[in-house]
Amino acid sequence: MAQRKHLDNFLRGRIIGRLECRRTHLEVSEELEIAQSVISRLWQRFKYDGNQSDSRRTLIWRAPGTGYHQENTIERHRYGGTGWLVWEGIILGSRTDLYVQSVMMTGYIYRDDILEQHVRLFRGAMGAEFQFTDDNARLHQANIVDECLQSDNITRMDWPAYSPHLNPIEHVRDMLDRRIAARQPTPTCLPELRRALLDEWCSIPQDKIDNLILSMPRRGKACIASSGRHTPY
């Protein structure tokens, strides 16, 4: 009989990953010995907000009446304005221009500014063999995004949940971050940061990007061998 058990983030990720691979709730319940009701609630929460955690709260043990003491509070500064969107695409032997705009990403912007202006061009150059990879962000799964990809005959690769380490673009972003951090003088305002991002993006050697892409079979094998846990990569 399936039993209730504490779900840490790793176990939640295993559940979501199996469900995304079209395993049934019953199969996952029997394999991991977790009640179907728990699996169902986790799956519904993930589909709603893309979050696998039970709670975003930080629990603090404190004496009664001390809730507003400095040691029992965590300050969060929220900025309600538009953020800066940075997007890039890579392919063996080439890359897209870096997209840096002061906008808030939506499904419409993703479709109009990213898919239509960048991804479609690569699809046209590569032909029917082109496969597009993004992640499981909610706006990437919007209906208007799916419709756009289908209308342009763009095949999107299925991607497992919570596995950014498998995506070479994350390592390219790390390269970009390190190059920005090493600049002298460092950018001190948003316009300077934007110029620095554009400069450094063009300066990353293409062979480093290609080596990352070519390493993907090894990364995938290492991930399988470790049952989805940490790997040397």
pLDDT reported for residue 23: 81
Task: Evaluate the CA torsion angle 96, 100, 101, 104 in order and state its sign.
Answer: positive
Report which of residues 98 and 14 the model is more confident about.
98
Condensed to tens digits (0 to 9), the pLDDT of residues 106-148 reads 888 889 999 999 898 888 888 878 888 887 677 787 888 889 9
Q: What is the mean pLDDT of the chain?
A: 80
Find residue 131's DSSP bridge partners: 155
Report which of residues 35 and 199 the model is more confident about.
199
Average pLDDT over residues 185-203: 92
Q: What does the CA dihedral 198, 204, 209, 210 come to, rounded to 10 degrees?
A: 120
pLDDT reported for residue 168: 85
Q: What percent of the chain has pLDDT over 90?
A: 24
Find residue 86's DSSP bridge partners: 100
pLDDT reported for residue 162: 63
Rounded CA-CA distance 228/117 in Å is 35
Peptide bond into 185 cis (omega under 30): yes
pLDDT reported for residue 167: 79
Average pLDDT over residues 29-56: 73
pLDDT reported for residue 26: 87
Condensed to tens digits (0 to 9), the pLDDT of residues 44-92 reads 877 655 554 444 445 555 667 666 566 666 655 444 445 678 899 998 9
Check pLDDT > 80 for residue 2. no
**Whole-model pTM over 0.95:** no
Reading the block at residue 4, the tokens are 């209730």
